[in-house]
Amino acid sequence: METEKLRVVIIGGVATGPKAAARARRMAPEAEIVLVDSGSILSYGACGMPFYLEGHVKDLKQLLRTAYGVTRDEQFFLREKGINVLTRTKATNIDRERKTVSLSNLDTGQDSVISYDKLVLATGARPTTPPVEGIDLMGVYRLHHPDDACKIMDNMEHFKEMVVIGGGFIGLEVASAFSNRRLFVSLIELHNQILPGVLDPDLEAILRKHLENRGMEFYLGRKVLRFEGDAEGNLARIITDRDSIDANAVIMAVGVRPNVDLARKAGLEIGSTGAIAVNEYLQTSDPDVYAAGDCAETTHVLTGRRVYLPLASTANRQGRVAGDNVTGRRTRFKGVMGTAVLQIMDWNVGRTGIGDSEARALGYDVLTTVTPAHDRSHFHPDHSLVILKIIMDNKSRKVLGVQAIGPGNVDKRIDVAASALHFGAGIDDLSELDLGYAPPYNTVIDPLQHTANAMRNKADGLSHAITAQHLKERLERGEELIILDVRTEREFKFKKFVGGSMTIPLTLSDLRGKLQELPRDKPVIVLCESGVRSYEAMRTLKGAGFENVEYLEGGLQAWPYGPSGLMS
* CATH code of domain 465-567: 3.40.250.10
* CATH code of domain 346-459: 3.50.50.60
Residues 40, 87 contacting (CB under 8 angstroms): yes
Q: What is the DSSP-derived secondary structure letter of residue 140?
A: E
CATH class belonging to 7-125+258-325 = alpha beta
Where do the domains of the chain lie?
7-125+258-325, 140-254, 346-459, 465-567
Q: pLDDT tens digits, the chain, 568 residues: what are they?
A: 345 799 999 999 999 999 999 999 999 999 999 999 999 999 999 999 999 999 999 999 999 999 999 999 999 999 999 999 999 999 999 999 999 999 999 999 999 999 999 999 999 999 998 889 999 999 999 999 999 999 999 999 899 889 999 999 999 999 999 999 999 999 999 999 999 999 999 999 999 999 999 999 999 999 999 999 999 999 999 999 999 999 999 999 999 999 999 999 999 999 999 999 999 999 999 999 999 999 999 999 999 999 999 999 999 999 999 999 999 999 999 999 999 999 999 999 999 999 999 999 999 999 999 999 999 999 999 999 999 999 999 999 999 999 999 999 999 999 999 999 999 999 999 999 999 999 999 999 999 999 999 999 999 999 999 999 999 999 999 999 999 999 999 998 888 887 777 899 999 999 999 999 999 999 999 999 999 999 999 999 999 999 999 999 999 999 998 654 554 4
Instruction: Provide the β-strand partners of residue 102.
Output: 93, 113
Q: Which element (helix H / strand E) includes 429? A: helix 427-432
> With a threshold of 0.75, does the pTM exceed it?
yes
pLDDT at 323: 98
pLDDT at 2: 46
Domain 140-254 and domain 346-459, same fold? Reply is: yes
Instruction: Provide the β-strand partners of residue 59.
Output: none
The catalytic position among 47, 150, 295, 528 is: 47
pLDDT at 497: 83
DSSP E strands: which ranges in 22-88? 32-36, 84-86
pLDDT at 493: 86
CA distances for 470 relative to 244, 328, 376, 403, angstroms: 33, 57, 30, 20
Residues 125, 258 contacting (CB under 8 angstroms): yes
pLDDT at 495: 83
Residues 451, 390 contacting (CB under 8 angstroms): yes
pLDDT at 1: 38
Whole-angstrom distance, CA of residue 548 vs CA of residue 477: 18
> What's the topology of domain 140-254?
FAD/NAD(P)-binding domain (3.50.50)
pLDDT at 496: 83
| 295 carries an active-site annotation | no
Sign of CA dihedral 302, 304, 308, 310: positive
Question: What type of residue is 380?
Answer: H
